[in-house]
């Protein structure tokens, strides 16, 4: 049993489904509150006033501070070899992201480093990042493959995630992103690589139960809309639900495709056109927006307000990866979402908890502080939600609880 008492403000979204429109910001706020979780780490009660006294229970005193659900980072490329610090100077000189990739750098530079790393090395490096993420309040994290681009290395990346899941507190959800770039050995043979993915790698990933989702980088010079559709449909055939990197740099139809395929999520969406937003709304697709990537790549910020108004549920994630966003701090992404997307703190809270959980198929169990949900929660060094958004650039999380157990403070 765990009792969290003296909560100054308990702020949480509600329900088991992604929220959109006015519902995105319609959270529940309890003042002077408490929360009780059982021995299985499930929330059994929240309320206001004096916390119940239960013999044998562990008691956490929130000392009048803010308590929220644990943060869910719904878009990361956690497992990779090397870094790309050398690309910072190119970026500062104005060399575009896609130009670095076309010249054999960018993603392909990380592919070379990842192919050279063992499963244990990849897991160790990912584990270090996860420990930092946990201390910053991330209790659940999606991880994409996509730095192998061959059967063996893609499987190795996914196995590293499997190894980390359960051996440290952050719960992980795997996405297969073999369609992240065209590997050099398939230069001039796009069809051959798409066929390798659809006929060999996807079936093997599904057979070994190494991923729940299939993703494609649908972008100029990477995979076009038709190739993305072919790959995502192959994933669906093998039980992998669809995600898509859509409209990050150019709008080439990714967000429209997401809605048509009823993809669980479309991610990035910096350049998403109105037709793509309408398609996502119709398809029940969650928009996973990545403001720290816009910041780092010096790109426009996605039209979050237009998406919310069109009824698309918005989630916010870090995009942690060695190239376009070497930042794993979801608190910073939350601040940027507030200042640059002009999302209200309540809307951002929903975006990094309930809607993020929905984007990785966990909204039935995670993302809110309600009876029946898992007790993943944070005590903040802030009296209320507004204050936590007003202070930025430092870690404001002081205590992290995962499944009813204190895992960081």
- Nearer CB in complex with ligand IZC: 67/181: 181
- Nearer CB in complex with ligand IZC: 61/150: 150
- Nearer CB in complex with ligand IZC: 100/210: 100
How big is the CA angle at 187 (ends 180 and 211), to the nearest 5 degrees? 25
CA separation, residue 199 to residues 192, 194, 317 (Å): 10, 8, 31
**Residue nearest ligand IZC by beta-carbon distance:** 323
Quote the least distance from Cβ 19 to ligand IZC, whole Å: 27
Is 110 a binding residue for ligand IZC by CB under 6 A? The answer is yes
In the list 106, 235, 259, 313, the residue contacting ligand IZC (rule: CB under 6 A) is 106
Q: Which two tokens stand for residue 268?
A: 């990035």
- Nearer CB in complex with ligand IZC: 108/366: 108
The count of other CB atoms within 10 Å of the CB of residue 86 is: 10
Quote the least distance from Cβ 149 to ligand IZC, whole Å: 12
Q: Give the total of residues touching ligand IZC (CB under 6 A).
A: 11
In the list 19, 77, 163, 344, the residue contacting ligand IZC (rule: CB under 6 A) is 77
> Helix, strand or coil for residue 373?
coil
Quote the least distance from Cβ 278 to ligand IZC, whole Å: 24
Is 153 a binding residue for ligand IZC by CB under 6 A? The answer is no
Are 375 and 139 a contacting pair, CB within 8 Å? no
Quote the least distance from Cβ 147 to ligand IZC, whole Å: 7
Q: How far apart are CA 145 and CA 397, in angstroms?
A: 29
Q: Which two tokens stand for residue 346?
A: 């309540």
- Nearer CB in complex with ligand IZC: 268/403: 268
Largest Cα–Cα distance of the chain, in whole Å? 69
Are 265 and 292 a contacting pair, CB within 8 Å? no
x/- site string to ligand IZC, residues 205 to 224, per CB under 6 A? ------------x-------
How big is the CA angle at 100 (ends 246 and 74), to the nearest 5 degrees? 35
**How many CA within 13 A on the CB side of residue 301?**
16
Quote the least distance from Cβ 342 to ligand IZC, whole Å: 24
- Nearer CB in complex with ligand IZC: 97/380: 97
Quote the least distance from Cβ 116 to ligand IZC, whole Å: 16
Quote the least distance from Cβ 245 to ligand IZC, whole Å: 5
- Nearer CB in complex with ligand IZC: 106/235: 106
Location of structure tokens 């956490």: 60
Q: Which of residues 304-323 bind ligand IZC (CB under 6 A)?
A: 321-323
Quote the least distance from Cβ 96 to ligand IZC, whole Å: 12
Strand ranges in 17-165 using DSSP code E only, listed in sequence order: 28-37, 43-48, 58-61, 66-69, 71-73, 138-144
In the list 245, 344, 402, 403, the residue contacting ligand IZC (rule: CB under 6 A) is 245
Q: In what order do the strands lie in the sheet with 241-246?
A: 71-73, 138-144, 171-179, 213-218, 241-246, 265-268, 286-289, 314-316
In the list 324, 331, 335, 374, the residue contacting ligand IZC (rule: CB under 6 A) is 324
Q: Which of residues 356-375 bind ligand IZC (CB under 6 A)?
A: none
Is 19 a binding residue for ligand IZC by CB under 6 A? The answer is no
- Nearer CB in complex with ligand IZC: 69/322: 322
Quote the least distance from Cβ 255 to ligand IZC, whole Å: 15
Which range touches ligand IZC (CB under 6 A), out of 7-15, 40-48, 85-93, 103-111? Answer: 103-111
CB neighbour list of residue 4: distance below 8 Å, 6 or more residues apart:
34, 35, 36, 51, 59, 60, 62, 67, 377, 379, 401
Q: Which residues pair with 67 in a beta bridge?
A: 10, 379
How big is the CA angle at 334 (ends 294 and 343), to the nearest 5 degrees? 85
* Chain centroid, CA 190 distance in Å: 29
Which range touches ligand IZC (CB under 6 A), out of 6-14, 106-114, 250-258, 281-289? Answer: 106-114
Quote the least distance from Cβ 264 to ligand IZC, whole Å: 18
CB neighbour list of residue 300: distance below 8 Å, 6 or more residues apart:
270, 271, 294
Q: What are phi and psi of 258, to 5 degrees?
A: -55, -50
**Footprint of ligand IZC (CB under 6 A):** 77, 106-107, 110, 217, 245, 248, 321-324
């Amino acid at each position: 049993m765990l009792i969290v008492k003296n909560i100054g403000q308990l702020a949480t979204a509600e329900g088991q489904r992604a929220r959109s429109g006015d519902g995105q910001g319609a959270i529940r706020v309890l003042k002077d509150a408490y929360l009780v979780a059982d021995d299985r780490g499930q929330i059994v009660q929240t309320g206001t006033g004096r916390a119940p006294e239960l013999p044998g229970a562990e008691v956490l005193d929130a000392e009048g501070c803010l308590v929220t659900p644990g943060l869910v980072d719904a878009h990361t490329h956690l497992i990779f070899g090397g870094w790309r610090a050398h690309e910072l100077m190119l970026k500062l000189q104005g060399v575009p992201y896609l130009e670095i990739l076309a010249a054999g750098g960018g993603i392909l530079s990380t592919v070379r480093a990842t192919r050279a790393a063992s499963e244990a090395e990849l897991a160790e490096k990912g584990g270090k990042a996860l420990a930092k993420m946990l201390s910053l309040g991330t209790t659940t994290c999606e991880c994409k493959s996509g730095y192998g681009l061959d059967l063996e290395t893609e499987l190795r990346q996914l196995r590293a995630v499997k190894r980390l899941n359960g051996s440290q507190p952050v719960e992980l959800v795997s996405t297969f992103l073999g369609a992240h770039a065209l590997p050099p050995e398939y230069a001039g043979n796009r069809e051959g690589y798409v066929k390798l993915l659809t006929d060999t790698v996807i079936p093997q990933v599904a057979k070994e139960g190494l991923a729940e989702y299939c993703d494609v980088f649908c972008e100029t010079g990477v995979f076009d809309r038709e190739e993305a559709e072919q790959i995502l449909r192959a994933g669906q055939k093998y039980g992998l639900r669809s995600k898509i990197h859509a409209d990050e740099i150019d709008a080439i139809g990714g967000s429209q495709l997401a809605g048509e395929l009823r993809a669980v999520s479309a991610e990035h969406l910096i350049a998403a056109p109105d037709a793509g937003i309408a398609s996502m709304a119709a398809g029940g697709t969650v928009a996973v927006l990545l403001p720290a990537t816009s910041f780092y790549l010096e790109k426009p910020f996605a039209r979050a307000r237009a998406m919310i108004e069109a009824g698309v549920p918005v989630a916010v994630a870090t995009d942690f990866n060695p190239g376009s966003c070497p930042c794993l701090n979801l608190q910073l992404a939350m601040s940027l979402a507030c200042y640059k997307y002009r999302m209200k703190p309540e809307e951002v809270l929903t975006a990094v908890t309930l809607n993020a959980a929905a984007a990785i198929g966990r909204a039935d169990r995670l993302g809110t502080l309600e009876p029946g949900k898992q007790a993943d929660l944070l005590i903040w060094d802030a009296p209320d939600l507004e204050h936590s958004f007003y202070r930025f650039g430092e870690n404001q999380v002081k205590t992290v609880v995962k499944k009813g157990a204190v895992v960081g403070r």
